[in-house]
């Protein structure tokens, strides 16, 4: 299978930099999707809307993300990986400025859709690019950069939200420099968007794309940069060429086959994406300030809790990055599923003691503490397992000839599942918060046999061996 020698340190440093630059899209994906958490209360008060309209505005970005994920593969194949990243950076920046000054909730929704399209593109392009430039020995760890960037984006957005809320005296509708705090929360995103654009300008194009575009000299230069002087360039180029030649541009019909329409491997990718969302992880990141306020905690403290769960998320992701290439993808996913099921069950039990509804709801201290601990354990179990493993697997598990398109389809399924959870949570929590968490716990339990019987281990295999 050609030569897959590990790169020397100086080359590894370069690979780490370009992987981190690509993963900056993940940072914006985390930032943009979670920043709404701090702004929810302000948006409700400013526009005088209830849970239904709020859920619509929070969730509508995710439909944009599904659309962005669908077109990302096509854009990457036609215009290159780097130009596609630049497009995402521009869309992020425009969406941030637009969201900061919406004349109505409908217009805010429109800007959220544009940001969502950028998130969808970034969610596909980063793992594709990283998988294509990363040497085999380091691919799992470098692919987890994407998830690390996402969780850092979530954390920074919660830190910014809390800081802006504090600066505005604990109310997100109070003014800072003539603009309400929640508007600043949504507008600050423009800064990392510009950084992402500048970083994308400083990284090389993917060697696989360069060879497919008949730019062999450039592809050799990039391979030398990322795989080191010991690499047999002729062998690597002919290996990638052989794969590209047996590859044809995948079309939707290439994903078809098998008893249920799509190829079994595509269904498995979709299944992994759906399970990752149906455990309810994004309820914590999009609505945790709303969730904790619904059991009697004030706005300022609920934002502080959101920040602490984000930090736990980062710690769990570091654990996953250390383990994903050592113990493999499946053991991590199984351990995480079991932990999530227990933590969600515990949260459901604690929430069953909630008194009252809406703004007047309360939860006794002992049960509130249990719910808080359970939420943090749940986030940790998700972060060290499904958070990282699903993105690593989606970058690896598909045969080369359908990888980009299959990854787009699986990522779109993830966004649609995320949308379904996000749009239903406010109404479900009004109906029965405890039962809602029982549903999420059931999905965590069901994910155990799914991993055991459907997922194949991809640790240590070259991408050209998949399929």
Torsion (CA) 93, 94, 99, 104 in degrees, nearest 10:
180
What is the per-residue pLDDT across 410-441, written as a single tens digit (0 to 9) for each?
888 888 898 899 889 888 888 888 999 999 99
Burial of 92: CB neighbours in 10 Å, binned 0-12, 13-18, 19+: buried
What is the per-residue pLDDT across 80-132, written as a single tens digit (0 to 9) for each?
999 999 999 999 999 999 999 999 999 999 999 999 999 889 888 888 888 88
pLDDT at 414: 87
Question: Is the pLDDT reported for residue 277 higher than 50?
Answer: yes
Average pLDDT over residues 288-315: 83
Question: Is the pLDDT reported for residue 22 higher than 80?
Answer: yes
Under the banding of pLDDT at 50, 70 and 90, the label for residue 357 is: low
pLDDT at 333: 94
Under the banding of pLDDT at 50, 70 and 90, the label for residue 344 is: very high
Integer Cα distance of 317 and 330 in angstroms: 16
Under the banding of pLDDT at 50, 70 and 90, the label for residue 33 is: confident
What is the per-residue pLDDT across 234-257, written as a single tens digit (0 to 9) for each?
878 888 888 777 766 667 777 777
Question: Is the pLDDT reported for residue 303 higher than 60?
Answer: yes
pLDDT at 355: 80
Integer Cα distance of 176 and 141 in angstroms: 41
Average pLDDT over residues 333-353: 94
What is the per-residue pLDDT across 141-175, written as a single tens digit (0 to 9) for each?
777 777 788 889 989 998 999 999 889 888 888 99
pTM of the model: 0.79
pLDDT at 2: 43
Range 221-224 contact pairs with CB under 8 angstroms and sequence separation of 24 or more: 222/133
pLDDT at 40: 85
pLDDT at 25: 87
Question: Is the pLDDT reported for residue 449 higher than 90?
Answer: yes
Question: Is the pLDDT reported for residue 139 higher than 90?
Answer: no
Q: In sequence order, which residues have a C-beta less than 8 Å from that of residue 336 and are 6 or more positions away?
A: 381, 382, 384, 385, 386, 389
Under the banding of pLDDT at 50, 70 and 90, the label for residue 3 is: very low
Output the CA angle 262-440-348, nearest 5 degrees: 175
Output the CA angle 158-164-166, nearest 5 degrees: 100
Structure tokens at 391: 């993105």
pLDDT at 311: 92
Integer Cα distance of 242 and 222 in angstroms: 18
Integer Cα distance of 202 and 192 in angstroms: 15
What is the per-residue pLDDT across 368-406, written as a single tens digit (0 to 9) for each?
889 889 999 999 999 999 988 888 888 788 887 777 788
Mean pLDDT computed over every residue of the chain: 85
Give 352 or 391, the one with higher predicted confidence: 352
Positive or negative, the CA dihedral 74, 116, 398, 325 is positive
Is residue 122 within 8 Å of residue 28, measured between CB atoms? yes
């Amino acid at each position: 299978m050609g030569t897959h020698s590990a790169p020397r340190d100086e080359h590894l440093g370069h690979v780490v930099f370009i992987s981190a630059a690509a993963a900056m899209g993940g940072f914006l994906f985390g930032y943009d999707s979670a920043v709404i958490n701090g702004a929810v209360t302000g948006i409700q008060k400013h526009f005088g809307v209830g849970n239904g309209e709020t859920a619509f505005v929070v969730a509508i970005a995710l439909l944009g993300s599904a659309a962005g994920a669908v077109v990302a593969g096509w854009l990457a194949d036609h215009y290159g990986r780097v130009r596609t990243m630049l497009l995402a950076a521009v869309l992020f920046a425009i969406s941030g400025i637009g969201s900061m000054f919406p004349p109505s909730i409908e217009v805010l929704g429109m800007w959220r859709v544009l940001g969502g399209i950028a998130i969808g593109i970034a969610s596909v392009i980063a793992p594709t690019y990283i998988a294509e430039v990363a040497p085999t020995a380091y691919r799992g760890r470098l692919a987890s950069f994407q998830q690390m960037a996402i969780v850092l984006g979530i954390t920074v957005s919660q830190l910014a939200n809390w800081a802006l809320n504090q600066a505005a005296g604990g109310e997100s509708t109070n003014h800072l420099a003539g603009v309400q705090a929640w508007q600043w929360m949504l507008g600050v995103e423009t800064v990392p968007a510009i950084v992402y654009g500048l970083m994308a300008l400083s990284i090389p194009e993917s060697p696989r794309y360069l060879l497919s575009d008949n730019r062999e000299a450039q592809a050799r230069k990039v391979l030398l940069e990322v795989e080191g002087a010991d690499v047999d360039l002729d062998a690597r180029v002919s290996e990638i060429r052989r794969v590209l030649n047996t590859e044809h541009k995948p079309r939707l019909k290439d994903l078809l086959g098998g008893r249920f329409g799509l190829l079994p491997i595509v269904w498995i990718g979709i299944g992994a994406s759906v399970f990752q969302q149906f455990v309810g992880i994004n309820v914590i990141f999009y609505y945790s300030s709303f969730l904790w306020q619904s059991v009697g905690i004030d706005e300022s403290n609920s934002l502080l809790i959101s920040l602490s769960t984000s930090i736990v998320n980062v710690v769990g992701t570091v654990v996953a990055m250390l383990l994903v290439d050592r113990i493999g993808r499946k053991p991590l996913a199984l351990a995480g599923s079991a932990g999530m099921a227990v933590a969600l069950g515990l949260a459901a039990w604690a929430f069953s003691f909630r008194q009252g509804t809406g703004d007047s709801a309360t939860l006794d201290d002992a049960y509130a503490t249990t719910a808080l601990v359970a939420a943090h354990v749940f986030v940790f179990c998700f972060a060290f397992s499904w958070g990282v493993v699903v993105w690593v697997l989606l970058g690896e598990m598909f045969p080369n000839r359908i990888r980009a398109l299959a990854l787009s389809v699986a990522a779109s399924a993830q966004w649609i599942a995320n949308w379904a959870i996000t749009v239903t949570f406010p109404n479900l929590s009004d109906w029965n918060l405890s039962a809602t968490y029982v549903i999420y716990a059931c999905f965590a339990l069901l994910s155990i046999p799914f991993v055991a019987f459907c997922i194949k281990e991809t640790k240590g295999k070259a991408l050209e061996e998949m399929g």
